[in-house]
Amino acid sequence: MSNFFNAIASVGKMATDDYVGFTFFVGCMAMMAAAAFFFLSMNQFDRKWRVSILVSGLITFIAAVHYWYMRDYWAANAESPTFFRYVDWVLTVPLMCVEFYLILKVAGAKKSLMWQMIFLSVVMLVTGYAGEAIHTTGSGPALWGLISGIAYFAIVYIIWFGEAKKLAENAGGAVLKAHKTLCWFVLVGWAIYPLGYMAGTEGWYSGVANLGLNMDVIYNIGDAINKIGFGLVVYGAAVAAQSTADA
């Protein structure tokens, strides 16, 4: 255990041909730049949208900090920083669910919707970590992965067909457009996470890892696209709503 913390404390040196470490570094810089952009643009919006932009900044800032540590862990150990990645996700994914609630408040969204989505996202991540890092043998990965997948598809149902969709349709305009785009991020963008889980755990599905693709690279690129993209969609909705209000 002491060796583990010593490795984290020391800044690992990244080899020039380490493309995995490079994606950790670029992901960190991209999300730090996005966080600065969102924080600095907050004051141009009214109070209704300011909190949404703040949350977008928090998501990317938290991710940037974790990517800095993950990059160093990878450089020092040459192994996937699973623990740090899940800590990042358990903080940022619920915040991404909060974004749905914030943009739907104009249509009367209740806090119960927010807490329901937060709960499902935490279940999805905690059970995913259990299957990938704790119960890694026998039927453990499949069982915990199943529970994680059920929670994921419950979120998909809520935003695509359930209460969140009805609220977005009632709001219309920029809110409806933003909601639809965020739904696609969850359905398509978040799909890399269960695929990575299946590739990284034992079972018949572990053959996916033999495709020659490093799942950390896919995770890193997917994280940057999902988290920065989420924020940019919210930012675009805020700009559109502000332009309509000023017209």
- In SS3 terms, the chain reads as CHHHHHHHHCCCCCCCCCHHHHHHHHHHHHHHHHHHHHHHHHHHCCHHHHHHHHHHHHHHHHHHHHHHHHHHHHHHHCCCCHHHHHHHHHHHHHHHHHHHHHHHHHHCCCHHHHHHHHHHHHHHHHHHHHHHHHCCCCCHHHHHHHHHHHHHHHHHHHHHCCHHHHHHHHHCHHHHHHHHHHHHHHHCHHHHHHHHHHHHCCCHHHHHHHHCCCHHHHHHHHHHHHHHHHHHHHHHHHHHHHHHHHC
pLDDT for the residue numbered 247 = 56
pTM of the model: 0.88
- Could you tell me the CATH superfamily of domain 16-246? Rhodopsin 7-helix transmembrane proteins (1.20.1070.10)
Which residue's entry shows tokens 């990938």? Answer: 132
pLDDT for the residue numbered 227 = 96
What mean pLDDT comes out for the span 198-223? 68
Are 33 and 219 in contact by the 8 Å Cβ rule? The answer is: no
- Average pLDDT of the residues of the chain: 87
pLDDT for the residue numbered 200 = 65
Q: Of 70-79, 136-145, 146-155, 201-210, which range is least confident?
A: 201-210
- pLDDT over 70 percentage in the chain: 86
pLDDT for the residue numbered 196 = 74
Q: Of 106-120, 156-170, 197-211, 212-226, which range is least confident?
A: 197-211
132 band by pLDDT with thresholds 50, 70 and 90: confident
- Is residue 92 pLDDT above 70, yes or no? yes
What mean pLDDT comes out for the span 168-172? 93
pLDDT for the residue numbered 233 = 96
136 band by pLDDT with thresholds 50, 70 and 90: confident
- Is residue 78 pLDDT above 90, yes or no? no
